[in-house]
């Protein structure tokens, strides 16, 4: 089967270059830089560094700055569209952190004020405004987030389950990123000069860039998203591979996915941040891939580096390049670094463009390359579209009761495993030299990954995971809290570079990639209480038939101060709980005990949402014949609505099987569904669902048709199916 083209039906952009496509094009034609000294917030020490700041942003709604940037871009991208998008995928790293920083400095303790802190609150806000009732996913892979979001959208559209997706990236300026990058000595005090011989670093910026993608040919199209490639350096938490290996792989895979050769590319939009190491690594990758380089440049000398938004913004700029035949200059460049052996555009160039290669590379070696082109270059090539479902080769979990055996034993007996395991317990299976600088969440993640691989039927020498997918609702709370606390305590003089690098949501998954040399896609999702489900959905979209198994992880840490403040399901005085689970999973059935799939991820606000959930599971008859148990996830903050949704599901499905409210066993934390998934796998491993956990007679899992459902209720309705092969 050949793929239908994925059209760009709309684009929206907000950046330091201006609001909208027309303003952006004008600035690019004039080759002006919008970088200037930061004025968004006052400093306690020193002179403001140059940044890319958005002016005249309407802030009357009370939403955080990131959310407002996303809304402005979405409104332009959706102009003329007669219906809501079927799905929304947003890449972001900042979420509501700028507002949170202000609240913390004012010593505000009311958790209602922090309700928009989470990264997922950006896409949730957009979904409400646009009336999108389908999947609303949040990707956080540092500076490649926007590109990764667009890659997932492309895969989702190719699978045929949706016809339109709004996707891209957004980030706002905040103290965390402003002082964080400065602490790493990655900021050029004279502005940003990508590829310049005397470049000294980047200029932190903000903005939003979104594309409305559809498989239905629009009346007016801006181009096509032809292909996308993702890779991971698996080299260092904050530095690129010195030979550009990851960058080369993402570009190579992006071209292959598009069905194009390097000679088909008319222009390359460089990642080009202006940091010496990044520019050099990208140049080495380019020379390895291209025999003859086409015109190329980086726009970050004009716009600054908008972090998670960069991939989205530069994808929108790519549509301007295609439709206007305008290749932007490498703004800020005075003298090309001869070591790079590149000839970037010194002035804007007007010439027909058929295909653009756009690069975005981020912390943790997370790389994304997009290929955007015209209709006449679309190859109509056949892509392998794996069906839903992955086979599980090994698993692990962690709760307050300890590692897998202790946690599962406790829960099988119907007893609570809520709490927090000690750091020594978490780190038992990890080399001390590896973790001496790591705090709670990365240690948990590495421990889970190592245990899942050890639990698999593969020998350690023969198995090398290809990719890593991680869901985390809140990310590394310890590093974020410690960075902001030290920043305030030292009057902004001595921010911690180690805590800054560790604070990015994708840091733990990148540590896993480094430990196990996993150079395939490395995707972190942050969907609040549905973070693990989003990671599983990303894995279903990205894991190919021929790939080695992937690691799929869900984990969150409990924090004495941040958890009661940020997590709506955790109240002050509650027992703080955390944990997670990991799965070694792939497309091959050998050495596998059961399979997992995610047939449903929809908003609960949609008409007949419960009926849609039932239909996604095969309907009433299928559920009667196969469902042996329901593990129900209802976050405490949504218990009223969630209980009604569960009751409606059981009544409409006419099910009378046992229901286990798994959060009563795991405690309240965002990635509790990952532990529930591990519990489901353990039932198939043992062949029995004990009566102690159901309060009824034991259930023997005999038939291949027997299924266990892990259902999520609340703002979204989700379903994970587990079944024996």
Q: Name the active-site residue from 182, 271, 393, 715.
A: 271
Query: Are residues 440 and 478 in contact, defined by beta-carbon separation less than 8 angstroms?
Result: yes
Query: Are residues 188 and 324 in contact, defined by beta-carbon separation less than 8 angstroms?
Result: no
Distance CA 663, CA 633 (A): 6
- Tokens describing residue 344: 């970037």
- Tokens describing residue 170: 């957004």
* 600 tagged catalytic: no
> What is the pLDDT, as a whole number, of residue 426?
96
Distance CA 613, CA 134 (A): 12
Distance CA 148, CA 253 (A): 13
Query: Are residues 723 and 706 in contact, defined by beta-carbon separation less than 8 angstroms?
Result: yes
Percent of the chain with pLDDT over 90: 90
* 271 tagged catalytic: yes
> What is the pLDDT, as a whole number, of residue 385?
63
The DSSP symbol for 18 reads: E
CA diameter of the chain: 77
Q: Which helix (H) or strand (E) holds 357?
A: strand 355-362
Please state the pTM of the whole predicted model: 0.97
> What is the pLDDT, as a whole number, of residue 117?
98
CA distances from 370 to 120, 151, 226, 242, 268 (A): 24, 8, 8, 22, 10
Q: Could you tell me the end-to-end alpha-carbon distance of the chain, in angstroms, rounded to an integer?
A: 27
Q: What are phi and psi of 6, to 5 degrees?
A: -105, 110
Q: Which helix (H) or strand (E) holds 720?
A: strand 716-724
- Tokens describing residue 190: 């004279």
- For the chain, domains (ranges, CATH) are 7-377 (3.40.47.10), 390-592 (3.40.47.10), 596-724 (3.40.47.10)
Segment 230-260, tens digit of pLDDT: 999 999 998 999 999 999 999 999 999 999 9
Q: What are phi and psi of 371, to 5 degrees?
A: -120, 115
Please identify every stretch of the chain with a pLDDT value under 70, giving residue numbers as ranges: 1-2, 380-387, 458-462, 591
**Crossing angle for the helix pair 639-653 and 609-616, to the nearest 10 degrees:** 50
Q: Name the active-site residue from 143, 192, 397, 594.
A: 143
* Residue among 357, 353, 355, 351 nearest 379 (CA): 355
DSSP string, 72-128: HHHHHHTTT-SS--SEEEEE-S-TTHHHHHHHHHTT---GGGGTT-STHHHHHHHHH
Distance CA 595, CA 670 (A): 23
Q: Name the active-site residue from 67, 117, 305, 715.
A: 305
> What is the pLDDT, as a whole number, of residue 162?
96
* Residue among 133, 125, 135 nearest 159 (CA): 135
Q: What are phi and psi of 364, to 5 degrees?
A: 80, 5
Count CB neighbours of 214 within 10 A: 24
How many helices (H) and strands (E) would you count in the chain? 25, 27
* 81 tagged catalytic: no
- Tokens describing residue 396: 């692990």
Distance CA 141, CA 688 (A): 39
DSSP string, 674-717: HHHHHHHHHHHHHTEE-HHHHTS--EE--STT-EEEEEE-SSEE
Distance CA 456, CA 520 (A): 20
> What is the pLDDT, as a whole number, of residue 724?
87
DSSP string, 564-625: HHH-TT--TTSPP--EEEEEEEES--TT-SEEEEEEEEEETTSTTHHHHHHHHTTHHHHHHH
**Which residues sit opposite 166 in a β-bridge?**
88, 212
């Amino acid at each position: 089967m050949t793929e239908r083209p994925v059209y760009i039906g709309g684009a929206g952009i907000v950046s330091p270059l201006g609001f909208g496509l027309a303003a952006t094009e004008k600035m690019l034609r004039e080759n002006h830089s919008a970088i200037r000294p930061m004025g968004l917030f006052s400093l306690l020490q020193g002179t403001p560094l140059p940044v890319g700041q958005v002016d005249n942003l309407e802030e009357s709604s009370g939403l955080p700055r990131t959310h407002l940037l996303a809304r402005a871009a979405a409104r332009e991208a959706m102009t003329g569209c007669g219906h809501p998008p079927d799905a929304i995928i947003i890449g972001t790293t900042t979420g509501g952190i700028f507002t949170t920083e202000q609240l913390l400095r004012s010593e505000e303790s009311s958790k209602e004020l922090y309700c928009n802190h989470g990264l997922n609150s950006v896409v949730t806000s957009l979904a409400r405004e646009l009336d999108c009732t389908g999947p609303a996913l949040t990707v956080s892979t540092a500076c490649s987030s926007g590109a990764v979001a667009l890659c997932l959208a492309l895969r989702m559209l190719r699978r045929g389950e949706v016809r339109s997706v709004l996707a891209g990236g957004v980030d706002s300026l905040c103290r965390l990123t402003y002082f964080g990058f400065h602490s790493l000595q990655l900021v050029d005090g004279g502005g940003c000069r990508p590829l310049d011989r005397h470049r000294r670093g980047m200029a932190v910026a903000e903005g939003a860039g979104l594309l409305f993608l559809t498989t239905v040919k629009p009346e007016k199209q801006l181009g096509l998203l032809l292909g996308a490639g993702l890779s991971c350096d698996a080299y260092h938490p904050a530095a690129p591979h010195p030979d550009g290996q990851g960058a080369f792989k993402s570009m190579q895979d992006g071209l292959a996915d598009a069905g194009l050769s390097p000679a088909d590319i008319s222009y390359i939009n460089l990642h080009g941040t202006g940091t010496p190491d990044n520019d050099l690594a990208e140049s080495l990758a380019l020379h390895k891939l291209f025999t003859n380089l086409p015109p190329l440049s980086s726009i970050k000398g004009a716009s600054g580096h908008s972090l998670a938004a960069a991939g989205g913004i530069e994808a929108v700029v790519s549509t301007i390049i295609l439709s206007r035949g305008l290749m932007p200059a490498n703004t800020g460049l005075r003298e090309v670094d001869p070591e790079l052996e590149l000839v970037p555009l010194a002035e804007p160039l007007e010439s027909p463009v058929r295909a653009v290669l756009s690069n975005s590379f981020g912390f943790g070696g997370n790389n994304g390359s997009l290929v955007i082109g015209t209709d006449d270059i679309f190859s109509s090539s056949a892509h392998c579209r794996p069906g839903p479902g992955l086979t599980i080769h090994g698993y692990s979990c962690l709760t307050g009761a300890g590692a897998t055996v202790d946690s599962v034993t406790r829960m099988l007996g119907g007893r609570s495993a809520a709490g927090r395991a000690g750091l020594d317990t978490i780190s038992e299976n990890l080399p001390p030299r590896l973790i001496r600088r790591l705090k709670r969440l990365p240690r948990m993640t590495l421990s889970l990954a190592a245990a899942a691989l050890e639990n698999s039927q593969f020998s350690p020498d023969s198995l090398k995971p290809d990719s890593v997918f991680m869901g985390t609702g809140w990310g590394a709370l310890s590093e974020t809290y410690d960075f902001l606390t030290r920043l305030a305590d030292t009057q902004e003089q001595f921010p911690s570079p180690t805590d800054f690098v560790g604070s990015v949501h994708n840091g733990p998954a990148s540590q896993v990639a480094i430990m196990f040399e996993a150079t395939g896609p490395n995707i972190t999702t942050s969907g609040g209480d549905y973070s693990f489900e989003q990671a599983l959905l990303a894995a279903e979209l990205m894991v190919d038939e021929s790939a080695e198994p992937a690691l799929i992880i869900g984990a969150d840490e409990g924090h004495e101060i941040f958890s009661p403040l940020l997590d709506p399901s955790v109240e002050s005085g509650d027992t703080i709980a955390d944990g997670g689970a990991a799965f070694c999973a792939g497309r091959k059935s050998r050495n596998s005990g059961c399979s997992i799939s995610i047939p449903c991820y929809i908003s609960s606000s949609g008409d007949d949402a419960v009926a849609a959930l039932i239909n996604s599971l095969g309907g009433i008859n299928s559920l009667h014949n196969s469902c042996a148990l329901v593990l129900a996830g209802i976050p405490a903050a949504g218990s009223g609505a969630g209980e009604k949704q569960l009751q409606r599901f059981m009544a409409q499905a006419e099910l009378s099987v046992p229901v286990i409210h798994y959060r009563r066993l795991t405690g309240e934390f965002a990635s509790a569904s990952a532990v529930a998934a591990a519990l489901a796998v353990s039932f198939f491993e043992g062949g029995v669902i004990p009566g102690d956990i159901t309060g009824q007679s034991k259930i023997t899992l005999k038939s291949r048709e027997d299924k266990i459902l892990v259902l999520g209720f609340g703002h979204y309705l989700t379903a994970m199916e587990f079944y024996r092969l």
